[in-house]
Structures are given as C-alpha cells and as structure tokens.
Amino acid sequence: MNICVTLPDWVDAVARPGTVCATDEEKMAIAVALARENMSRGGGPFGAVVFHRPSGRLVSGGVNLVLQSGLSSFHAEITTLSAAQTRLGRYDLSADGGHELVTSSEPCAMCLGAVLWSGVKRVVCGACCDAARAIGFDEGPVFPESWAYLRRAGIEVVEGVLCEEAEAVLKRYKEQGGVVYNA
C-alpha cells in the first residue's frame, strides 16, 4: 500500500523555488498568498514556506492538503517541511547553514512537534492561533511551555508577521462557509 500525497503544481508557481527574499514580511507574503490560493481552490486556508537561512533562498512552499487528500495530518507545515526535505534529499533541515519555516498561521500541537523533528532553527508565524480558533479550528494541546520547549531547543520564534493579512484569509474562509475539518 502506498500513502500518496501530491503537492499541486500551482504551489511552485506561487512560491517559486530559488526566489530570494530579504525580509520576514516578503517571506510571509508568499505563505499568505499560498493560503489564499489554496482556499480559492477548495482547500484549507493555510500555507507555509521553507527558506534557506543564510541565502534567503526559497526551497519549497506547501499548503494544507487535508481536504484534497482525505488525510488529517497534512497541515501546511507538514506538507511544506516534507516538500523541502524531499527536494533537498534529507530529513534534517539544520544542515547547510540551516533553514526556517514561515507559516501563515501559528502551528498546532502536531505541527509544533514536526517543527522540532525537522531541524529548522527559526519559525516565523502570521496569524495567531486564537485567530484559527476563532473560526473553529482546534489547535490542540499547545501551551506556553510548548513554545518554551522549542526555544530551549535553539529554535527562534517570530510571531505576528503580516498578521492582519494572514487573519483576513481565515476570516474569509469562515465567511464563505469553508469546512472546519478538525473541530
């Protein structure tokens, strides 16, 4: 049996591998554009991007694929980290000067764990998890201690980058009656 998840072709068009971004805002704008595009195509309103830290080079984007795949674990952070690891041919993203994950919404409990195992050394978040909860998504057991654990593991966390734009996508999803699949 194969468990197969295909990242849609349009993801590379919105988040072009090799694109160089200098600021967190530039990087987040791409993650939010992925979230918006995925929503417009019937997916969940979440997007993320992995960048190579020293160069600011985009490795891979990704989007939430729960609705498209029928698989509950394929949140944007999971597909994005998996896409970057596949593209680079290794499971450890701490190599080669390190990588960072830029995500349109703060990670849920599962994705916080995935961040830790991926080896990324920096996480940049857009919408706060209260914004996701406000439209009905359950973030799971995320506590202040969860974030402290990541920081102690040497992962820098940046919150609230372009949060208004990121939260606008979530609000739009609710307004158009989008499916809340883990409530």
Dist CA 104 CA 167 (whole Å): 8
Q: Which of 53, 75, 99, 122 binds Zn ion (CB under 5 A)?
A: 75
Dist CA 133 CA 126 (whole Å): 14
Among residues 25, 26, 37, 77, which one is catalytic? 77
77 is catalytic: yes
Quick one: 73 exposed, middle or buried, by C-beta within 10 A (0-12, 13-18, 19+)? middle
Could you tell me which stretch among 10-18, 74-82, 89-97, 162-170 binds Zn ion (CB under 5 A)?
Answer: 74-82
Dist CA 88 CA 93 (whole Å): 9
Scan residues 111-170 and list those touching Zn ion (CB under 5 A): 111
Could you tell me which stretch among 4-12, 16-24, 70-78, 127-135 binds Zn ion (CB under 5 A)?
Answer: 70-78
Question: Measured from the CB of residue 159, what is the shortest distance to Zn ion in angstroms?
Answer: 16
Q: What three-state secondary structure class fits 123?
A: strand
Report how many residues bind Zn ion under the rule CB under 5 A: 4
Binding mask 80-119 for Zn ion (x = CB under 5 A): ----------------------------x-xx--------
Question: Measured from the CB of residue 121, what is the shortest distance to Zn ion in angstroms?
Answer: 19
Residue the block writes with tokens 């985009």: 58
Q: What three-state secondary structure class fits 55?
A: coil
| Active-site annotation, residues | 77
